[in-house]
Copies of this chain bind each other. A is one copy, B any other.
Amino acid sequence: MAAAADKKSVLDPWGATVVDDYNHLYEEFGIQKFDDLCSKVPNPNMYMRRGVIFGHRDFDRVLETMKQGDDFAVMSGIKPTGEFHLGTLMTAKEIIYFQQQGAQAFYSIADIEAYEDNRLSFDETEKIAVGNVADLLALGFDPKRGHIYRQYKELRVRDLAVHFGAGVTLATMKAIYGERHIGLYLSALIQAGDILLPQLKDFGGPKPTVVPVGVDQDAHLRLTRDLANKFRRKFKFIAPSSTYHKILKGLDGSPKMSKRNPMSYFTLNETPKAIGKKIACAFTGGRATVDEQKKLGGVPEICPIYEIEMCHFVEDDNDVVETYKCCKCGSLLCGEHKARTKQIVMKFVEEHQRKREKLVDQAREILGVN
């Protein structure tokens, strides 16, 4: 892996995010490359600039609307099975970005999915959701220009799911999701309801909508775009657009962050100290010995420390380029890099937790929780 990475251009600090494995998504599923559009986005966010958002479906339509200053919406959400982690953080920041660009913003607490997929009761997910919404607000989501809701309580979403039921054959469901229990198919219809909710009359009617998600969520988009077509006559839906970000590697070097593996990720509500420790213990793109690293340079392309910095914690592109160069040429060693990243992350988390604490009551109010 290190050898393959070495072949890349020395000055491709975003290359780490473009995993070769994503190539088949373009061909097999018809996901379009984001590269081709990025330069046309007036004020691209760092995920766009750095190739973390690598693919899309029909994002052109949303871009056109943004440029013309017309109404558009951003829609995504969270499955309330636990605290915010770097994946849900990314989605949240993407939504907030589009909200700041003028979009009506929708944030769904996918409690029906959490129930059908993870058997979490609505009482359990309600508690978790309060924390998730406090996180979202702390990150800058403006609730006055957005709609945050629980699927179980948002009857308009559930009504759409009932409508969509008549439009989906079993063969389609199996082709998209495989052989699953019925509840999971039901929750897929609910998610189609989420995605098309912004286009109901109550929210100003049909409009381009962008759904920023991890690429693992593309199945829902395929289903929903199909349903938007099938129910176009009744609801005048415009097929929703999407952007896809990559899935972050595990801190421990595993292919993805996973709850099953506590050292592979952290949540925004762990103590800064615990998070610092996980960073200190992380896998890196370093060489076997310091000497070797000084001579050959590190491999940021496979390094989770570089990745989380680049994807989340360093705003200025020049700083990231600088880090990349210093790692590549062997002047930045892993110990130093980890120590620096630890400081940045711990500072972010401390501030975030302070803001979040003050927003819990507002989160309860938004969700109608006593």
Q: Taking beta carbons and an 8 Å cutoff, which residues of A are in contact with B?
A: 112, 115-116, 119, 152, 155, 158-159, 161-170, 173-174, 179-187, 189
Contact = CB atoms under 8 A, between A and B. Distances in A.
Nearest to A151: B162
Given A186-B189, A189-B186, A112 B181 contact: no
A186 B170 contact: no
Contact of A116 (B115, B165, B173, B183): B165
B152 A165 contact: no
Most buried by B among A168, A173, A174, A186: A186
A168 B182 contact: yes
B169 A182 contact: yes
Contacts of A179: 170
Contact of A112 (B155, B162, B164): B162
A311 to B, nearest CB: 34
Given A155-B155, A158-B158, A165 B189 contact: no
Contacts of A119: 166
B186 A180 contact: no
**Number of copies of this protein chain within its complex:** 2
18 contacts: A112-B162, A115-B162, A116-B162, A116-B165, A158-B158, A162-B183, A164-B183, A165-B183, A165-B186, A166-B181, A167-B181, A168-B181, A170-B170, A170-B179, A170-B181, A170-B185, A173-B182, A185-B185
A189 B186 CA distance: 10
Nearest to A174: B170
Contacts of A170: 170, 174, 179-182, 185
Contacts of A112: 162
Contacts of A161: 186
Nearest to A184: B165
Contacts of A167: 181, 183
Q: Which 10 A-B pairs have the closest CB atoms?
A: A165-B183, A166-B183, A165-B186, A168-B182, A169-B181, A116-B166, A165-B182, A116-B165, A182-B185, A170-B179
A155 B165 CA distance: 17
Contacts of A187: 165
Contact of A182 (B115, B116, B158, B189): B189
Contacts of A116: 162, 165-166
A157 B119 CA distance: 19
Contacts of A183: 162, 164-168
A162 B166 contact: no
Given A173-B182, A189-B186, A115 B166 contact: yes
Nearest to A118: B166
A115 to B, nearest CB: 6
A155 to B, nearest CB: 7
Interface centre among A155, A163, A165 (most CB of B within 10 A): A165
Contact of A186 (B169, B184, B186): B186
Contacts of A180: 170
A119 B164 CA distance: 11
A174 B162 CA distance: 20
Contacts of A115: 162-163, 166
